[in-house]
Copies of this chain bind each other. A is one copy, B any other.
């Protein structure tokens, strides 16, 4: 008997449907810019928020009541059954998980790993049956108390070792399940107080660790991308993978900029003081755009609220940057979004995803329409066209400061500003969203 009882698989019924349990905009087979919508969005349910979150927050404990809660393998199997049931109802192509979401912690590392392997056998079977695929796997190296002072950047080398073993185990199962990517989120890689921290030392540890991960990927022939997920803080006061710009510097420092890409989350961008589209555009311009975590942050809250998206104009600007960067290859759209802790019912879990998926579909279609129209790109090209001339390019690439300065005085250069046309551009966008 399904936890979701009588909730039928969600079908596309079109924008006029008033059926809560229908897609009004998401139609997997609709062709957008020459590709199926499903193949654009590559939607993935997040095992942790959907299945493992219990409704707690810093001021209160569990509010949800799911039959699969528990600490043993039986509970883990029941959880997996519910998960694939949910995937079926939602009709999404992908899921993703942390090791700690899917298996009970064992009494030893070896037992934890065996538990993971065993659950992944079950996953393999269910994936085979249902066609659901794995967008990415990752190791949770932040919840257990051993990670409290970091994983790769821990002052204790034994914990570095434990982290290495954890990542290897997760990469192995991700590879086995034909995962499209492997993700690293360094929730504890950072510090609580600078007073006890050696930034230089910890950066060296992080660089060495990531290099080993990349080496291992090549060794086992994993074809997916290695992705780092930026976040500026929380749980740590300072997290090393602060934002896209910071990680780029880190990758350059260790020569990994062609080996690693990014998994970018709206809420994390906001916490770092950026818009989501900024982080996506920056990653795109640096060749680092891998995948996205599509949640939203409450703009009036100072922590990661991880909510399902509900604002089409924002989501459209995000997908616009994804499409401009060429669309997803190994990456996709992961719902790193969780139910509010008062949303107790099975229906809430389903409807949250249904609403979010429709918002993504609307956002994608608006983004595609903007790209097809081409207005924004034309206006952008026009703004920079002065740089397309040979003299301008020569100045940029070849002329030294003094030559340019001499010409400024000689010709009495007095350049006049031109309108940036921001409101006009925003009006143009409003036509599509």
Contacts and interface: CB of A to CB of B under 8 A. Distances in A.
Contact of A249 (B204, B235, B248, B414): B248
Interface stretch (A37-45, A127-135, A338-346): A338-346
Nearest to A208: B396
A161 B62 CA distance: 22
Given A168-B402, A282-B199, A301-B237, A424 B204 contact: no
A176 interface: no
Contact of A347 (B63, B414, B415, B424): B424
A349 B160 CA distance: 28
A187 interface: yes
A201 B431 CA distance: 27
Interface in A79-120: 108-110, 113
Contacts of A310: 313, 426-427, 429-430
A156 B427 contact: no
Interface string A257-292: 000000000000011111101100110010000000
A50 to B, nearest CB: 12
Contacts of A344: 417-419
B301 A395 contact: no
Contacts of A168: 401-402, 404-405
A392 interface: yes
A422 B215 contact: no
Interface residues of A, number: 154
Interface stretch (A28-36, A68-76, A142-150): A142-150
Given A395-B157, A420-B196, A61 B144 contact: yes
Interface in A389-419: 389, 391-392, 395-397, 399-402, 404-405, 407-409, 412-419
B341 A215 contact: no
Contact of A348 (B149, B249, B423): B423
A193 interface: yes
A384 B155 contact: yes
Contacts of A66: none
A144 B172 CA distance: 40
Interface in A339-386: 339-345, 347-348, 351-352, 354-355, 358-359, 376, 379-380, 383-384, 386
Given A208-B396, A300-B270, A359-B430, A60 B341 contact: no
Given A245-B245, A348-B424, A423-B308, A408 B161 contact: yes
A298 interface: yes
Number of copies: 4
Interface in A280-324: 281-282, 285, 298-303, 308, 310-314
Main secondary structure of the interface of A (DSSP, over half): helix
Given A24-B431, A422-B340, A412 B60 contact: no
A124 interface: no
A161 to B, nearest CB: 5
Interface string A196-210: 111111011100100
Nearest to A280: B194
Contact of A400 (B216, B245, B433): B216
Contacts of A431: 18, 24
Nearest to A108: B412
A6 interface: no
A52 interface: no
Given A193-B426, A311-B311, A352-B423, 15 more contacts: A59-B142, A59-B187, A61-B145, A63-B148, A161-B395, A164-B404, A167-B401, A216-B402, A245-B246, A270-B300, A302-B303, A342-B421, A344-B418, A348-B421, A358-B430
21 contacts: A60-B148, A62-B145, A146-B415, A155-B384, A161-B408, A161-B413, A165-B409, A171-B401, A192-B340, A192-B422, A198-B384, A199-B281, A201-B387, A203-B285, A233-B301, A310-B429, A310-B430, A313-B313, A340-B420, A344-B418, A355-B426
